[in-house]
Amino acid sequence: MKITSDILIIGSGIAGLSLALKTADHFDVVLVTKKEAVEANTRYAQGGIAAALSALDNFDSHIEDTLTAGAGLCNPSVVERIVRDGPRLIEELTQLGVRFTRKKNREYDLGREGGHSQRRVVHAGDITGNELEKSLLLQAKRHPRIRIFEHHIAVDLILSQKLDPQSPENRCLGAYVLDAPNDIVHTFEARITILATGGAGKVYLYTSNPDIATGDGMAMAYRAGAVLANMEFVQFHPTCLYNPGGRALAANRKMTEEKSFLISEAVRGEGAKLKLIDNTSFMNAYHPLKELAPRDIVARAIDFEMKKRGHPYVLLDISHKRKAFILKRFPNIYKLCKQFGFDITKGPIPVVPAAHYFCGGVHIDLEGHSSIPSLLAIGECAHTGLHGANRLASNSLLEALALADYTSNAINRDLPRMSKSELTIPDWNPGEATVSDETVVITQNWEEIRRFMWNYVGIVRSNKRLERAKKRIELLNDEIKEYYWNFKVTRDLIELRNLAQVAEMIVRSAIARKESRGLHTNLDYPESKETERKDTLISTISA
């Protein structure tokens, strides 16, 4: 079956939904999402959106905090534009019905997180992402020109030069998409295709991300020949609940899957302390801001203390605060920790770092354009230069909103002048692929990738570890390619292929950076170098 539209958006988080809503008044929009539309990384964002809204705050301060966290790799002009548009974008969300937490005087109840010099995080309790996702999705489902295809996972992008080698440019014409419930690959043809697929936290053994975060957009773009940037900069959130074996109440079986439940940065912003198992504080030895230091510093400090002492976790303690305050400010975190058997009002909880956010991705300009015509990218799967070598807390949702805004303006301006492709796109060709009776291969490869990425390409790296990872991923990629072309595509196989591709990009990029900067720490190159203060650009052309 062929589904045709003006705009194809792959992904249903805040970036994809915002873009759909801002273009659908003028064009037909199709949005595909691999599970239910509400199941996106956005939904799991607890903290909020950073914006200079307080009388005590200003744009220059927010800009400076972002540049400081980014460790010399932020694009200053990108930072300035996005920061200055923050208040306007927040106001747009309130007009769409997003209910942010406010004080009695109706001013925003602004939180503070690591790396911020002021309170500037707009939030909806401690479930900001869920509130955003529900509000935007409701508007999208009501719009007559937006069609949403749930349980549809993109397989590969469709390129003009693949169909016709004589085509003057490698233009994107849409994507082949697996209709998972019906086990059919459909052709989705569009004049513009936007990747809004989120991150790739599942490439690591421990992650705060949901199971959908398998780097699909990054991997598809890479296979298509697009340029990606700074894939070595993976942010590990310092504080995820340590819960080996998925300990949970028997009454709630779903909780057994949440082994790395995120404990928001806002908890430290409200005074929580990090301690060793013997209740000794340690962050004062690492940074003047202690618990409110940038995430890369806090994550490395925790990782170092755990390895130095052989401890499986450290403690996070906010129990010195009044119970009423904790219940009001963090009701969801309190509830979920209780389901795991921990009461944050009575004592500390065990936490560990976990893979959380990708600062790199498809290299784009501020209108979403990638290096391939008609292929755009926004959100976590894209790289704009805002985050540099380390993202400042709560700048991610701000970036997603800003890029959806800028990209929609460009599409609304340019799409009416774009001609439609005259190439005939063939249906998906499965070749001689058969149904696999060896799905254990997928499970084995998936687990091996996640484990060696955690051990060799995690918070702290070395030349020897990276070379070991490089050898592993080369062997696994060969094995996965052979398996992929012999058997029918399934969601598990598509995700495994994408994870392996993302792992390869991270390893290649990490090897290329001969220094330590921001989120990339290499024991063999412990210092930052001015000669290395540049983006790491990779593509299949340079592979």
Neighbours of 24 (CB within 10 A): 21
Of 77, 75, 81, 86, give the one whose Cα is nearest residue 116: 86
Please check whether residue 117 is in contact with residue 65, taking contact to mean a CB–CB distance below 8 angstroms: yes
Q: Residue 105 has what pLDDT?
A: 87
Cα 503 from Cα 474, distance rounded (Å): 10
Q: Residue 436 has what pLDDT?
A: 61
Domain positions in the chain: 240-355, 440-538
Residues in CB range of 84: below 8 A, 6 or more apart = 59
Q: Residue 40 has what pLDDT?
A: 63
- Taking only the tens place, the pLDDT of each residue in 205-235 is 889 888 889 999 999 999 999 999 999 999 9
Cα 252 from Cα 248, distance rounded (Å): 7
Residue 316, burial from CB neighbour count under 10 angstroms (0-12, 13-18, 19+): buried
Task: State the residue for tokens 């770092």.
Answer: 353
Please check whether residue 54 is in contact with residue 119, taking contact to mean a CB–CB distance below 8 angstroms: yes
Q: Residue 248 has what pLDDT?
A: 42
Residues designated as active site? 295
Give domain 440-538's CATH number out of 1.20.58.100, 3.90.400.10, 3.40.190.10, 1.10.10.10.
Answer: 1.20.58.100
CA dihedral 429, 434, 437, 439 (to 10 degrees): -10
- Taking only the tens place, the pLDDT of each residue in 176-186 is 999 999 999 99
Q: Which SS3 state, helix, strand or coil, does residue 68 take?
A: helix
Give domain 240-355's CATH number out of 3.90.700.10, 3.40.1350.10, 1.10.10.10, 3.60.21.10.
Answer: 3.90.700.10
Q: Residue 288 has what pLDDT?
A: 93
Of 237, 349, 351, 379, give the one whose Cα is nearest residue 294: 237
Residue ranges in the chain modelled with pLDDT below 70:
38-46, 244-260, 431-438, 542-543
Dihedral-angle region of residue 276 (phi above 0 means left; psi in -120 to 50 means alpha; beta otherwise): beta
Measured CA to CA in angstroms, residue 527 lies from 325, 385, 517 at distances of 42, 22, 8
